[in-house]
């Protein structure tokens, strides 16, 4: 391992990291390696018929202490999460050449199937229980204070104005990307307006606050099919935040897929399943709908394009923009339908 170049070498891990976890001569398989500014890596370690997960994290000790606090809190409240295993000096992580490594048991299970109603219900039930048991969560001393709680209306308002600015730029440039952007502007602007209107009626004091996973999607939800145990992995993005943000992130990832494309009945089922295990206020429900209404991809790609127009790969941006644009009309119909459902079944006024 070379700290200057931050290169991970398996032989060096075997020599300098694994012995500190009493795993001398173990087999190592690299599962994931991401060589970015926030370099991370995941290894499967096998020793004496047991498997472990060795992870190189991309954040500092204070952030790791928060993540450890979160996982330990959930573990003690019967949420199935991997437990950080101690090293020979009883520390829950190893520092080597300026890099941080953690070890957990290897979690066996199948990734949550977004086309399985059973998997979805188990996943959202688990998320509800996670939020409920962590309302009073506080990290251990020395942890980074990871707190979200962003004013969602202000965020939507900012992004809404950026959509308008991008439209002006599109009229000015008139290149291929800009023509596609303008052709699809009406539906996406209508979605942004609805998001802004709904979020303006949110009472921030009525929003539920808890520990949030931050990346609650199918790849981080593992289900043991023999007993329906749900395991949650990868808490790198966890923070104290509005519970509705976790739910919204999960739903958006689910609903933008072709097979579950903006399905109102599925959404209602998921919300009602969550509410069996944890309460959702009217503002929580509004937050979720406003989040789902905003045309996130359309806004983000156009923002990045016009910020980097002189140096970007324009064909790549065109490809990114056009992928999924045919779903904008379905998304708009979905939001209007959900507004009716909210009014009729949840007695919510906007």
pLDDT digits (tens, 9 = 90+) for 190-248: 999 999 999 999 999 999 999 999 999 999 999 999 999 999 999 999 999 999 999 99
Residues 6+ apart with CB under 8 A from 237: 213, 214, 215
Task: Cite the DSSP H helix spans in 104-242.
Answer: 117-133, 152-173, 176-183, 185-200
Which two tokens mark 128? 């509800």
The DSSP secondary structure of 265-317, one letter per residue, reads HHHHHHHHHHHHHS---HHHHHHHHHHHHS-HHHHHHHHHHHHSTTTS-HHHH
* Contact between residue 62 and residue 142 where contact means Cβ atoms under 8 Å apart: yes
Pair (78, 129) in one structural domain = no
- What are the pLDDT digits (tens) for 58-117? 999 999 999 999 999 999 999 999 999 999 999 999 999 889 999 999 999 999 999 999
In whole angstroms, what is the distance from residue 263 CA to residue 253 CA? 12
Asked which of 28-42, 74-88, 306-320 is least confident by mean pLDDT, the reply is 28-42
Does residue 35 sit in the same domain as residue 165?
A: no
Are residue 223 and residue 307 in the same domain, yes or no?
Answer: yes
Do the bridges between strand 229-232 and strand 209-212 make them parallel or antiparallel, or are there none, so unpaired?
A: unpaired
In a domain? residue 1:
no
Residues 140 and 204 in one domain: yes
Query: Can you give the pLDDT at residue 182?
Result: 98
Helix axes 185-200, 296-307, angle to 10 degrees: 110
Judge if 242 and 265 occupy the same domain: yes
For residue 156, being part of any structural domain is answered with: yes
Residues in the chain: 350
What pTM, to 2 d.p., does this model score?
0.94
Same domain, 182 and 225: yes
Q: Which two tokens stand for residue 132?
A: 């409920």
Q: Are 213 and 220 in contact (CB under 8 A)?
A: yes
Domain termination residue (choose one: 106, 130, 157): 106
Last residue within a domain, chosen from 75, 106, 137 = 106
Please give the pLDDT value at position 326: 87
**CATH number for position 129:** 3.90.1200.10
Print the domain residue range for 80.
Answer: 10-106
6 pLDDT exceeds 60?
A: no
Question: Among residues 86, 106, 126, which one ends one of the domains?
Answer: 106
* Digit-coded pLDDT (tens) for 148-158: 999 999 999 99
281 and 252 part of one domain = yes
pLDDT of 5: 46
- List, for residues 248-296, the tens digit of each pLDDT value: 999 999 999 999 999 999 999 999 999 999 999 999 999 999 999 999 9
């Amino acid at each position: 391992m070379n700290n200057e170049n931050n290169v991970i070498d398996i032989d060096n891990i075997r020599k300098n990291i694994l012995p500190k976890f009493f795993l001398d001569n173990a087999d190592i398989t690299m599962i994931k390696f991401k060589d970015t500014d926030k370099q991370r890596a995941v290894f499967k370690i096998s020793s004496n018929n047991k498997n472990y997960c060795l992870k190189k994290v991309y954040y500092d000790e204070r952030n790791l202490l928060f993540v450890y606090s979160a996982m330990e809190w959930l573990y003690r409240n019967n949420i199935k999460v991997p437990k950080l295993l101690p090293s020979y000096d009883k520390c829950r992580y190893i520092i080597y050449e300026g890099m941080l490594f953690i070890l957990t048991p290897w979690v066996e299970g199948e990734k949550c199937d977004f086309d399985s109603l059973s998997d979805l219900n188990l996943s959202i039930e688990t998320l509800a229980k996670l939020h409920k048991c962590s309302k009073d969560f506080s990290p251990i001393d020395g942890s980074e204070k990871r707190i979200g709680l962003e004013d969602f209306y202000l965020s939507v308002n900012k992004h809404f104005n950026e959509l308008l600015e991008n439209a002006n730029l599109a009229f000015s440039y008139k290149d291929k990307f800009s023509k596609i952007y303008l052709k699809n502007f009406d539906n996406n602007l209508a979605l942004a307006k609805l998001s802004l209107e709904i979020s303006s009626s949110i009472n921030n004091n009525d929003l539920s606050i808890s520990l949030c996973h931050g990346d609650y999607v199918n790849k981080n939800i593992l289900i043991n099919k023999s007993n329906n145990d749900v395991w949650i992995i990868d808490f790198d993005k966890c923070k104290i935040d509005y519970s509705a943000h976790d739910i919204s992130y999960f739903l958006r990832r689910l609903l933008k897929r072709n097979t579950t494309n903006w399905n109102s009945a599925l959404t209602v089922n998921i919300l009602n399943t969550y509410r069996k295990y944890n309460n959702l206020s009217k503002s929580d429900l509004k937050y979720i709908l406003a989040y789902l209404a905003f045309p996130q991809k359309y806004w983000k790609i156009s923002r990045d394009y016009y910020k980097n127009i002189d140096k970007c790969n324009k064909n790549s941006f065109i490809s990114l923009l056009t992928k999924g644009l045919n779903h904008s009309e379905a998304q708009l119909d979905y939001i209007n339908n959900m507004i009716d459902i909210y009014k009729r079944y949840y007695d919510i006024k906007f």
